[in-house]
Structure 1
Amino acid sequence: MITEKHLDSERLFLNRLAKADPTQIAVVDLGEGDSRYVLTHGQLDKLSDRVAQGLIDRGVAEGENVAYLLPNGWEFIVLTLGIWKAGAVACPLLPALREREIPFIMGKSKSKVLVIPTEFRRFAYGPLIEKIRPELPGMQHLITIDSRDPDNLATCVGGLAAQEPDPAEIERRRPGPDSPAQLLFTSGTTGEPKGVIHTHGTLGHGVAAHAHGMGLTSDDTIWVPSPMAHQTGFLYGMAMAFFIGAKQVCQAAWDVGTARIAIEQHGATFVQAAMPFLADLTREERPPQGLRIFIATGAPVPRKLAQEAVGRLNCKVAGGWGSTESCMISVGSIPNYGDSSWNSDGQVIAGREMKVTDEEGRTLPPGQEGLFKVKTPAMFTEYLDHPEWYEAAVDAEGFFNTGDLAVIDEDGNLRLTGRVKDVINRGGVKIPVAEIENLLYRMDELKDVAVVGMPDPRLNERICVYVTMIDPDRSIRLEDLTAYLQSQGVTKIYWPERLELIRDMPRTTTGKIQKYVLRQMIADKLKSE
């Protein structure tokens, strides 16, 4: 008899890796420029054992968070596995993060280790960390990856793989389903970024039903262009490959030419990524051929784009919805492929529940808009240091209030219609609107600031900022605003991309800025340009 405990064990990524063919290619790292790296499952297993030992030797205890700021690549994968084998918790940071975000995450996570690359996309990380070192009092070990040769054990993964592992100690630390596995920070759309904690069991659940529903097997090749430090790339790229025992092709920086290599030379058949990736591939003069499934997440797929993508890429395109907290909840059907697979946010994945309610919690009938709530065995277990946030977000029945507004039609198709709170969805990246506004309000020249989303055919939304000046006869440039944000250590992906000067903000009778009016104003202006 197969018990739930046995199924939990079967879902664990380390157990799946241990059962994989050690001679089979596990990772193709497309690197940058002309570099290419290929590792087998056996090499992944052995290197991650050594990395686990390196972390143990540096005093990393079971249950501790280990922070690493790395692009997609074999080192990210080996390090993640090594962290888990040491019984520790993976805390990846997006490579785009800078002076403002890194100290916050390091402080909250209490990680005594930070792993960085020497350079990525022409940015040197060493000087950055040296600059903010006084703000990192808990960091005991800065590990810099300056050699990418996986065969040089003395230097690879920043020297973490230098020592022979102690198999008994690593086995003693082996995590179970309830052991914490991952700490990811949300973008702080309504204030302080939230530290979302998942266990090995919840992450395993997050992948299992999704992979089964799409019919993915070890014969597939998983392409990972989405950042592995984001749940999409981490779970539905890297970890998905572990789960099904398939090869994964890592792409560190977005480039259509590199994407073509992943698909046509290395046989990528599945990818889960944001809409801009799909748009860029589809609009190529000669779209790459070979993909079987493209799951587009982060923003609704425009009907015209989806129709073009299906025809030009010769693959199945489906929409889907998930969050850092809940993992994937819905996806368009692949076995029963049809229009609803791509012109909605999908149908509920097996083992999950979703509903739309009114403000009092009453479930609404099909077709009515309301609060979108979900329940899943892949639900996060806590918000770091803030149990009150968890209690506010997850009700007594285990339903998580996503903060989204949605409609579920009579056929069970989900359509997200908006956000309860102010947010901009820039190509799947949620912009921390309140934080950016609060910073800009510190500029002496500005009287009022309102950051809103403006329509964009590729990214769904871009960032527009409306400002009023203290002296209405004075002006200001977009470059002045972005230079100020840069001086405050704000990552570039959060900077406004358009400035609109306005003499008076539209307001409610109680004085609140009417952002819906501003959004309509910029939408109308863009149409007329």
Structure 2
Amino acid sequence: MSDLVLSVLRACDATPDAPALTARGRTWSYRELGRRIRSIAAGLAEAGLAPGDRVLFSVRPGPDAVTLALGIVGAGGTVVFADPGAGEALFRARAALAAPRWVAAESLLYLASSRPLRPLARRRGLELAPYGRLVPDARHIRAGRRLPGVPAGALALDRLATGGGDGIREGAPDDEALVVFTSGTTDVPKAVVHTRGSLGAGLGDFARGVGIRAGLRVLTDQLMVGIPALIGGAHWTMPDPGLDPGARPEAYLEHLGDAELLFASPATLDAILTALDARPELRPALETIVLGGAPVLPPLLRRTFARMPGVGVRAVYGMTEILPVAIADGAEKLAAPAGGGDAVGRLVPSVRARIDDGELVLSGPGLARGYLAELPEHPLAELRTGDLAELDGDRLVLRGRAKDMFIRGTQNVYPGLYEPLIAGLPGVADAAMAGVPDAIGDDRIVVAVVPAAEPPTAPTTAHPLVAEVRRRLPGLVDAGVLPDAVVAVPALPRAGRSRKLDRTALAERLAPFAAAASGVGERA
């Protein structure tokens, strides 16, 4: 089984003079990248990081994030990805569950979450936890120059990186490497635990499945895509994120003339295509576009091929617990018969799949160890996905979710295929679809969105986000599932200990908006 960190370092040693990573105006060679990862691991070990220590990690994508994350894992530690935008209560609950001994963050985040500036951040819609005091007795690592709010004694990342030495521990495939929070509430946060082996298996499958090769010019802001690029000896370019955790679509445009492979979410690609429409003089040189993070639907594929006729498209299906699961060719996906489900491609080699009463069940070396709150007592042996599916050899077709389905006319609508895509649109914190029966039993479809900034106090169609979502949807989803109404809501109703979306309650709240819609002509 491949080891994540050792695979990257083997690439560094194989082509030391080749360009590895370009970001923020600088290009790092594989020699420089490998030396920095090894030095950071050595510095952390010397500073007291012990095998198994967890590090609460809030560093925006960039060279610092890449080398620090790999250095932590290489030294035997665990990276706990922490989204500071989750809100203070949820962030505290996640930190308590992860029980980190270390905190790594940018100096700017320490400053923004300090007492003088937290009220300003709150007025901008950010409920930041106080990073400097969040974890009692934690050791701190700062990325960037020292600013007010950085705890006394915090280790400077640049100093760790220039100390020399090689602190890489070979470890074992089952060593914990990564904790990713996926959902949950302040009472029951949910986190997936991956090992060095599961990450190595999954990211290796990804690199081979999308055609990563030495020297390929890869454009993405996603660490979990860029690291497979490094494993394959590619040249990874990261668009500038600015002050945001992810790059703005416009930041990609300046690189499209040189990049050969682009990875983006469907929502990001939609925004890139829209930006390209305003810049007809730009001629992307892309060979391949890789899409993931949400369903890839025919309208977006058609727009992509119309703008870039010679490009190849790969659509990746996976989930936090096991990524990737399957990879589809975009042209084949577009040519699939209508109404035949979502053809998500061929299973990658390391994944084993079976169908149990219609539900897709997965296992294999890329499967996560389990859920943090349930370990070590209940490790994952296989994953029940909740997706209805069919297998034809190694070809996988999704039929929707096990319980959630609406009917509009003669069309079955599975909201689980579309909700992640809508939730990925800029400004949307959460999203759900509700089916509200009309007088003849047909379902009116209403989309509820929770604005990331200035959510309303009651459901409304007057929020500015509503118009933006309505504008974006026709290019992203099938015409047959365009909603009759889009409504901004303060929060989605949830029920039970697991805080699962309560679709019945949601439909009741949205019924007046469905009744007010005038039918197909009102669809987004």
Q: 2:226 aligns with which of 238, 242, 245?
A: 238
Check if 1:93 corresponds to 2:82. Answer: yes
> 1:322 deviation in Å?
0.5
How do 1:167-186 and structure 2 match up within 5 A? 167=166, 170-171=167-168, 173-186=169-182
Partner of 2:323: 327
Partner of 2:464: none
Q: TM-score, normalised by structure 2?
A: 0.69
Deviations 1:19-67, CA, capped at 9 Å, x for gaps: 33121111111x4xxxx22211111112222222332233211121112
Percent identity between matched residues is 19
Q: Does structure 1 conserve the Cα–Cα contact (< 8 Å) formed by 2:66 and 2:223? A: no
* Partner Cα distance (2:226, 2:284) in 1: 22
Partner of 1:415: 398
* Partner Cα distance (2:510, 2:361) in 1: 26
> 1:519 deviation in Å?
6.7
How do 1:180-219 and structure 2 match up within 5 A? 180-188=176-184, 192-219=188-215
* Partner Cα distance (1:383, 1:175) in 2: 21
Given residue 21 of structure 1, which amino acid in structure 2 is its aligned partner? T
* Partner Cα distance (2:383, 2:342) in 1: 25
Q: 2:433 aligns with which of 425, 440, 453?
A: 453
Partner of 2:61: 72
Q: TM-score, normalised by structure 1?
A: 0.69
Check if 1:372 corresponds to 2:360. Answer: yes
Partner of 1:402: 385
Give the length in aligned residue pairs: 429
Q: Does structure 1 conserve the Cα–Cα contact (< 8 Å) formed by 2:260 and 2:287? A: yes
Check if 1:308 corresponds to 2:277. Answer: no
* Partner Cα distance (1:196, 1:10) in 2: 17
Partner of 1:258: 251
Partner of 1:222: 218
> 1:94 deviation in Å?
3.0
> 1:425 deviation in Å?
3.3
Q: Runs of 5+ in structure 1 lacking a partner?
A: 1-6, 149-154, 226-232, 359-369, 437-450, 466-476, 483-495, 502-510
Partner of 1:277: 268
Q: Does structure 1 conserve the Cα–Cα contact (< 8 Å) formed by 2:84 and 2:129? A: no
Q: Does structure 1 conserve the Cα–Cα contact (< 8 Å) formed by 2:295 and 2:421? A: no
> 1:201 deviation in Å?
1.4
Q: Does structure 2 conserve the Cα–Cα contact (< 8 Å) formed by 1:318 and 1:346? A: no
Partner of 2:21: 27
What secondary structure does 1:79 align onto?
helix
Q: Does structure 2 conserve the Cα–Cα contact (< 8 Å) formed by 1:198 and 1:380? A: yes
Q: Does structure 2 conserve the Cα–Cα contact (< 8 Å) formed by 1:298 and 1:425? A: no
Deviations 1:479-525, CA, capped at 9 Å, x for gaps: 4479xxxxxxxxxxxxx970399xxxxxxxxx993545667875773
Alpha-carbon distance change, 329 to 87 in structure 1, aligned in 2, over 3 angstroms? same
Partner of 1:513: 504
What secondary structure does 2:88 align onto?
coil
How do 1:150-165 and structure 2 match up within 5 A? 158-161=157-160, 164-165=163-164
Check if 1:464 corresponds to 2:444. Answer: no
Partner of 2:488: 498
> 1:335 deviation in Å?
10
* Partner Cα distance (2:394, 2:372) in 1: 38
Deviations 1:53-108, CA, capped at 9 Å, x for gaps: 33223321112111221111111011012112212112222353342333223222
Alpha-carbon distance change, 163 to 379 in structure 1, aligned in 2, over 3 angstroms? same
Check if 1:107 corresponds to 2:96. Answer: yes
Q: Runs of 5+ in structure 2 lacking a partner?
A: 119-127, 148-153, 405-414, 436-444, 460-485, 492-501
Alpha-carbon distance change, 410 to 23 in structure 1, aligned in 2, over 3 angstroms? closer
* Partner Cα distance (1:500, 1:130) in 2: 22
